[in-house]
Amino acid sequence: MPYERESSDRQSSEREFIVEADGGSRGNPGPAGYGSVVIDAATGETLAEAAEYIGVATNNVAEYKGLVAGLKAAHQLDPAASVHVRMDSKLVVEQMSGRWKIKHPDMKPLAAEAAAVYPSSRVTYEWIPRAQNKHADRLANEAMDAGKRGERWSPSGSTAELDARAAQAAAEPSEPVGPPGDAGRPGDAVAGAARVRAGLAATRAGAGAGAGADTGTSTGAGAGADTSTGARTGVGAHEVDGADARAARSAAVPPVGWAAPADLGAPATFVLLRHGETPLTPEKRFSGSGGSDPSLSDVGRAQAERAAAAFAARGTIQAVVSSPLRRCQETARIVAARLGLDVHLDEDLRETDFGAWEGLTFGEVRERGPQELNAWLASPDAAPPGGESFAAVADRVAAARDRLAAAYAGRTVLLVTHVTPIKTLVRLALGAPPESLFRMELAAASVSAVAYYADGNASVRLLNDTSHLR
């Protein structure tokens, strides 16, 4: 059983609790832990904390375990209470709210366990930004740090609540950065740079997979992506300290070019490989994460082999991370086998869920629902029926970026993913508006590259290179 700290307030009258939960993995999968907090909705008092090191697991498993622990802690306080769950994991929130399908076999039993704690009528779910989930995030990192020492997390030694409040006070409040209508979203290059800076700084300071090195609460983030925040592969990049929170809200852009310091060291370089062709690719059909999950075609496998040969000749790839969808895993395994590397999966690198549009052509979608299509083209917040908006994708992809940039600081990692995640990473690196997604071309098995420096700057080095296919 995880250790918990509870207040003496155990009144049995009907109450409302807020449960904040998070989890992280330093490696995704890697050493993992979770943290959760039960708060009295009326007073804001922390009633219970739970944290535990859970061994080697993925970010998403850790997040779900944090949710289960938080709900059980609330249930022990008052089985008749109403509970409002707040998490920065878009995946968990959407799945537990019933809007996204639960496909991964490791997630299904955990989701069922969480759903069984309280009647569904008594539990609501809300996604919150990583910066608003610091308490649970710090608990998760404390648990992972304790596990690394061969110890169990102890409430008597926890400073998570004090640290979270201090960080919140230091960050309060300034005007949000970013263009009108896009405030708070990771399309803001300055805010995104600050989050990456926090993760890389923690890694360089030797925090290892600790809270600050965690990539987002999702380093797995995926974020992230998500994803998708992550400790996820290094829980901590989503945990921005007071100075970085202020920097993220200020209008000052980090120095670039010759004005930047010379001792930044090697960047974390993402080599972005779009998967090879599937039978749907030449037909230009919507093929996201909510459809048939097609395999590579013969053409797609040949493309992956050519990409593998090119990467082997260059000899620069040090790790391979893939979207969990079949077409990416197949592409990644072909490349990884040639390079002698393992393939790690990150849920936040999956393609957009196109909902009811999956398997349709653009023309077929326009015939069936022109108003819905026009709304989607006009706003990143609009989603296909039953699907996912580009704004939601940007949230989890930014989480994955933060996580992975911290986990692979100074190294070159191959990310095998899809059109939307790659375009989103390029867009965020450039600080470009959401509509730029429609102004980039990415061929099947094309290569792009973005480098992330320790000062928070990003540099787009390559886009849509297909020379290895010719």
Say if CB 452 and CB 216 are below 8 A apart.
Answer: no
User: How many Å apart are CA 229 and CA 87, to the nearest integer?
Assistant: 10
Residue 456 and residue 427 in contact, taking contact as beta carbons nearer than 8 Å: no
Is residue 344 part of the annotated active site? The answer reads no
Q: Which two tokens stand for residue 60?
A: 């998403």
Contact in structure between 457 and 367 (CB atoms under 8 Å): no
* Residue 351 among the catalytic residues: yes
Phi and psi, residue 350, nearest 5°: -70, 160
Question: Can you spell out the DSSP letters for 251-304?
Answer: SPPPP-GGGS-S---SPEEEEEEE----TTTTTTB---SSS--PPP-HHHHHHH
334 vs 321: CA distance, rounded Å: 13
Which whole-number Å values give the CA distances from 217 to 81, 209, 243, 388, 468, in the listed order? 28, 11, 19, 20, 35
Q: CA 277 to CA 331: how far, in whole Å?
A: 10
Type of residue numbered 322: S
Single out the catalytic residue among 239, 277, 351, 388. 351
Rounded Cα distance between 343 and 355, Å, is: 28
Contact 458, 452 (CB under 8 A): yes
Q: Please report the sign of the dihedral spanned by the C-alpha atoms of residue 228, residue 229, residue 231, residue 234.
A: positive
Which of 135, 238, 275, 344 does the annotation list as catalytic?
275
Crossing angle of helices 189-204 and 390-407, in 10° steps, is 20
Q: What is the CA radius of gyration of the chain?
A: 21
Residues designated catalytic: 275, 351
